[in-house]
Amino acid sequence: MNKEDKHIVLFDMDGTLTESRQVIENNMLESLKELLQISNVEVGVVTGSDYDYVKQQLGLLLSESSMCQKIHVLPCNGTKYYTPPDSQSDLYQLSYDEDMSMLLGKENMRSLMQMLIERQSRFSYALNDLTGHFISYRGSMINWCPIGRNASEEQRNNFIQLDNSYEPSLRLRELRALGYKLTELGLDSLLTVKLGGDTSFDVYPTGWDKRYCLKYFKGYKLWFVGDRCKENGNDYEIFQEVSETGFAFETDSPERTCEIIEDIKIKIYKSNYNTAPMPS
């Protein structure tokens, strides 16, 4: 089958395929399984999270023998690429990896980390709960989570309520402050900061947003589904780009994503029918 005949359906993870930081549920597994039963459809999961979180949340999906050979795993906005295994018994292998420290240099990385540590200290005054794992360097990006990646679901929900109790929200205010700080450090032209999920910020080299993953799928017909498609969200750029050449959908929950998958299936079935050769 030629690439021109193939469809790649790209999904964000948190808030799209799963609830934030939660394990994929059976109804989503069934929806994806039905989608992948279409012979010319493949799926990609493009997320700001690193591969360890993908495994925690989507392990049931990636170990499903009937699907794993058609699923591409694209952590850290696709700057890491785990290609589908060749057989059901093989494991996913890292085939591509970027490193932002090589781009920024040692001194700029040091300045950036020091600034984030200082912002964490200031942000902490507004928080009742602090856990751990506030700053995560993922090679091609940095995730800063003021409440801590180790927060319980209750602590995360408390933070989200606190964040949204302000207008604009605490994170939007901090997003603006981070922009000023990057300018002071002379890094504003090199780095982009976006809201990551419900509780964090993603910092990465400009251009290393989720559009990065599209380089792996040249010639495919593109689809995208994500929940952070507004300007400050980390799905914004890929949502805009895929909208120009393919189909992009904004979701607000995994339940809504299942409905969108049904719509995608219908559109692809119709496309396959309309392009099928006429019988002789």
Name the 3-class secondary structure at 275. helix
* Nearest Cα to Cα of residue 41 among 68, 5, 93: 5
CA distances from 102 to 63, 78, 257 (A): 34, 17, 37
Residue 11 makes CB contacts below 8 A (sequence gap 6+) with 17, 43, 44, 45, 46, 224, 225, 226, 257
- Which contacts of 130-135 are long-range, i.e. CB under 8 A and separated by 24 or more positions? 131/155
- Taking the C-alpha atoms of residue 102 and residue 109, their distance in angstroms, rounded to an integer, is 9
The answer to whether 101 touches 141, Cβ cutoff 8 Å, is no
Per the residue annotation, which of 5, 12, 99, 227 is the catalytic one? 12
77: left (phi over 0), alpha (psi -120 to 50) or beta: left
* Nearest Cα to Cα of residue 47 among 12, 73, 19, 16: 12
Fold of the 100-205 domain: 3.30.1240
Residue 189 makes CB contacts below 8 A (sequence gap 6+) with 206
Give this prediction's pTM.
0.89
Per the residue annotation, which of 5, 14, 235, 252 is the catalytic one? 14
Kindly state the DSSP code that residue 70 receives in the 8-state scheme.
G
The answer to whether 235 touches 210, Cβ cutoff 8 Å, is yes
* Nearest Cα to Cα of residue 47 among 202, 270, 206, 230: 202
Asked whether residue 276 carries a pLDDT value surpassing 60, the answer given is no
Q: pLDDT tens digits for 144-172? A: 999 998 889 999 999 999 889 988 899 99
| Pairing, β 71-74 against β 41-46 | parallel
- What the block records as the tokens of 67 is 């699907």
Q: How confident is the model at residue 94 (pLDDT cuts 50, 70, 90)?
A: very high
> Any idea which architecture 3-97+208-275 has in CATH?
3-Layer(aba) Sandwich (3.40)
Residue 155 has a CB neighbour count (10 Å cut-off) of 18
Q: Is 97 a catalytic residue?
A: no
Q: pLDDT tens digits for 127-146? A: 877 788 899 999 999 999 99
The answer to whether 145 touches 134, Cβ cutoff 8 Å, is yes
pLDDT at res. 279 = 44
Residues above pLDDT 90, as percent of the chain: 77
Domain boundaries, the chain: 3-97+208-275, 100-205
Region 44-70: mean pLDDT is 91
Q: Is 14 a catalytic residue?
A: yes
Residue 111 makes CB contacts below 8 A (sequence gap 6+) with 185, 187
Q: pLDDT tens digits for 11-28? A: 999 999 999 889 999 999
Residues above pLDDT 70, as percent of the chain: 96
Q: Do domains 3-97+208-275 and 100-205 have the same CATH topology?
A: no
Instruction: Provide the β-strand partners of residue 232.
Output: none
